[in-house]
Amino acid sequence: MMAISDFDEITRQLLTFVVFRWKSPLDSALILVAGDKSYESIKKLGLSDAECEAAVVAGNAAEAPPVPPKPVAPVGTPVVSSLPLSRRLLRNRRSPALKAAFHETSLSPVNFIYPLFICEGQWNFAYSSNFHLFLGVSLSLCELLVFKGEEDTPIGAMPGCCRLGWRDGLVEQARDVGVNSIVLFPKVPDVLKSSTGDEAYNDNDLMPRAKRLLKGRYPDLVIYIDVALDSHSSDGHDGIVREDGVIMNEEAVHQLCKQAVSQARADADVVSPSDMMDGRVGATRAALDAEGFKPVSFLSYTAKYASSFYGPFREALESNPHFGGKKTYQMNPANYREAVVETREDEAEGADILLVKPGLPYLDMIRLLRDNSPLPIAVYQVSGKYSMIKARGVLKMIEEERVMMESLMCLRSAGADIILTYFALQAARVLCHEKR
């Protein structure tokens, strides 16, 4: 944005341009009279407008500024004739100002959703009013005690990411640079996992506790919740799996509805089923509405592929499927048209936002959904892609920051409105820095 103090400079440049372009410098002087402080100096010459004109007519024009020298090409540059081009696209890229004027896609921290891994730490104690009363200390001191005592566990496969017990200030740091949306993923202790994933709808589970704590602190924070059984399933699957390995669609949907309602009860703003069961959007929407959660938004993982790019995420949550893969319910990476069918289903069942996952290298799928639906499109820049960029960056094989920003821009330009990305904080910092 142009600062007020830039105004004089811009006016000066504009006028200089006029002076160079106009044949007569005295004519230019007339322009200056109309628009600039130099009016004063012209006046000092003691000439009126009519006198200036008369001077020019009499051939007394002041000398034009010298023509700037032609830039010299490197020695040895071949002398060639011009190509007969009817269009030269380089014209629009000639200067930073022109490039800025024709910049098509914007990238802003408001486009980011920050995925956070949380684990049992002392979430139990946080915001427990009994705890304050018992200690007889002020809330802020109490928070300090509770939050400072917890440790983050680095995730080996995702450099720069941690499982957060309660990472004091991380959400605040993100908000400081304009990222006000997060999605939470819980690392559930093995003893609480079962093949039917019932802990997923326990109102006193880690997720509802964490969410209430965050909402208590930041009421306007937007919290997305991933609805799927995998983090609560002893089998590591997104639904219930029969002993012969077959996923039980209806039974899974039944559990997912309970999970979504439990999350809505704990103040989730957006529920986002990532399981890919058939009919789960309609069923979950109906369950939410029946329980009075009509305002809760619905992001559906519409085109979620059975991808090998989820590996680091599964390591972070220790949620690798124990048998079989997810290929019987997540989409086949070879399938393109099928995503249109998924889109139609999700739209008809009441989804508010459609998601493509992974993002890179599935840019064509983002564009496909963008062109086939008027709904907002989200994309998940998944753990595998994040880790690839990070690891190469650490090894100095690429310029991490530039690659990060470019990859995010490409997701936007493919048609994504919002991006779930582990780079949210880092990228938002870059954007804020660029603005200053």
Active site residues: 304, 357
Considering only 120, 143, 150, 238, the residue that binds ligand PBG (CB under 6 A) is 238
> Does the protein bind ligand PBG through residue 274 (CB under 6 A)?
yes
Of 304 and 412, which has the nearer Cβ to ligand PBG? 304
Q: Which two tokens stand for residue 324?
A: 């079989």
Considering only 288, 360, 369, 382, the residue that binds ligand PBG (CB under 6 A) is 382
Return the range that interacts with ligand PBG (CB under 6 A); candidates 135-143, 210-218, 287-295, 309-317.
309-317
| Coil/strand/helix, residue 216 | helix
Of 28 and 196, which has the nearer Cβ to ligand PBG? 196
- Report how far residue 249's alpha carbon sits from residue 254's, in angstroms, rounded to the nearest whole number: 9
- Report how far residue 378's alpha carbon sits from residue 366's, in angstroms, rounded to the nearest whole number: 8
Residues 6+ apart with CB under 8 A from 199: 188, 192, 193, 205, 232
> Does the protein bind ligand PBG through residue 228 (CB under 6 A)?
yes
Return the range that interacts with ligand PBG (CB under 6 A); candidates 12-20, 246-254, 308-316, 337-345.
308-316
Considering only 120, 199, 226, 269, the residue that binds ligand PBG (CB under 6 A) is 226
- Report how far residue 98's alpha carbon sits from residue 113's, in angstroms, rounded to the nearest whole number: 31
Least gap, CB of 288 to ligand PBG (angstroms): 19
Residue-level length of the chain: 436
The answer to whether the Cα torsion of 321, 241, 299, 254 is positive or negative is: negative
Least gap, CB of 357 to ligand PBG (angstroms): 7
- DSSP secondary structure code for residue 238 in this structure: S
Considering only 284, 383, 387, 421, the residue that binds ligand PBG (CB under 6 A) is 383
Of 113 and 213, which has the nearer Cβ to ligand PBG? 113
Return the range that interacts with ligand PBG (CB under 6 A); candidates 30-38, 104-112, 240-248, 306-314.
306-314
Q: How many CB atoms lie within 10 A of CB 263?
A: 30
Specify whether the CB–CB gap between 262 and 202 falls below 8 A.
yes
Closest CA to 240 of 189, 182, 195, 184: 195
Closest CA to 157 of 307, 314, 308, 305: 314
Q: Which of residues 314-343 bind ligand PBG (CB under 6 A)?
A: 314, 326
Q: How many CB atoms lie within 10 A of CB 297?
A: 17
Least gap, CB of 130 to ligand PBG (angstroms): 34
- Report how far residue 117's alpha carbon sits from residue 91's, in angstroms, rounded to the nearest whole number: 47
Least gap, CB of 188 to ligand PBG (angstroms): 12
Task: For Cα atoms 341, 231, 317, give the angle at the middle one, nearest 5 degrees.
Answer: 110
Least gap, CB of 315 to ligand PBG (angstroms): 10
Of 162 and 382, which has the nearer Cβ to ligand PBG? 382
> Does the protein bind ligand PBG through residue 230 (CB under 6 A)?
yes
Contacts with ligand PBG, residue ranges (CB under 6 A): 226, 228, 230, 238, 274, 310, 313-314, 326, 382-383
